[in-house]
Structure 1
Amino acid sequence: MPFAHDTAVELRAAVALVNSAEPPETLATVADLDAFFREHGYTGRHDRTAEELAQVRALRPRLRELLLADRDTAAGLVNELLAGVPVRPRLVRHSGEDWHVHATADDAPLSTRIVVETAMAMVDVVREDEHSRLAVCADPDCQGMVLDLSRNRSRRYCSTACTNRNAQAALRARRAG
Structure 2
Amino acid sequence: MRFAPDTEEALVFVVALCNTEAEASRSGTDELGTVDQLAELLARYPFTGRIDHDEQELRDVHRTRALLRHVWTLDRDDAVEAVNKMLRDAKAVPYLVRHDSLDWHIHATEPTTPLAERLKVESALAFIDVIRMNEMDRLRICAADDCTGLLLDLSRNGLKRFCSVRCGNRMNMIAFRERRASE
Please classify the TM superposition score into its range, dividing by the shorter chain length. Answer: over 0.9
Given candidates 108, 120, 124, the residue that maps to 1:103 is 108
Q: Distance in 2 between matches of 1:37 and 1:93?
A: 20
Residue 106 of structure 2 aligns to which amino acid in structure 1? V
State the 1:164 CA deviation. 2.1
Aligned length: 177
Residue 93 of structure 1 aligns to which amino acid in structure 2? R
Partner of 2:20: 20
State the 1:159 CA deviation. 2.1
Partner of 1:88: 93
Deviation above 2 Å: which 4+ runs of structure 1?
A: 170-177
Answering whether residue 175 of structure 2 is matched by residue 170 of structure 1, we say yes
1:26-65 equivalences in 2 (<5 Å): 26-65=31-70
Larger CA deviation: 27-36 vs 152-161 = 152-161
Residue 159 of structure 1 aligns to which amino acid in structure 2? S
Partner of 1:149: 154
TM-score (norm 2): 0.90
8 A Cα contact 1:104 1:113, kept in partner:
yes
Larger CA deviation: 124-133 vs 160-169 = 160-169
What are the superposed Cα offsets for residues 30-67 of structure 1, whole Å, 9 maximum, x if unpaired?
Answer: 11111211212211111111111111011122111111
TM-score (norm 1): 0.93
Residue 100 of structure 1 aligns to which amino acid in structure 2? H
Residue 124 of structure 1 aligns to which amino acid in structure 2? D
8 A Cα contact 1:88 1:105, kept in partner:
no
What are the superposed Cα offsets for residues 62-111 of structure 1, whole Å, 9 maximum, x if unpaired?
Answer: 11111111111011111111110131212122232221111111110000
Answering whether residue 168 of structure 2 is matched by residue 129 of structure 1, we say no
8 A Cα contact 1:139 1:157, kept in partner:
yes
Q: Distance in 2 between matches of 1:19 and 1:151?
A: 23
Residue 7 of structure 2 aligns to which amino acid in structure 1? T
Percent identity between matched residues is 44
Larger CA deviation: 154-163 vs 104-113 = 154-163
**Structure 1 vs Structure 2 CA RMSD:** 1.4
Partner of 2:76: 71
- Judged with a 3 Å threshold, the aligned counterparts in structure 2 of structure 1 residues 38 and 18 are, in CA distance, closer, same or farther, namely same
8 A Cα contact 1:66 1:77, kept in partner:
yes
Larger CA deviation: 68-77 vs 20-29 = 20-29
| SS class of match (1:156) | coil
Give 5+ residue unaligned stretches, structure 2: none
8 A Cα contact 1:59 1:111, kept in partner:
yes
Given candidates 108, 120, 126, the residue that maps to 2:125 is 120
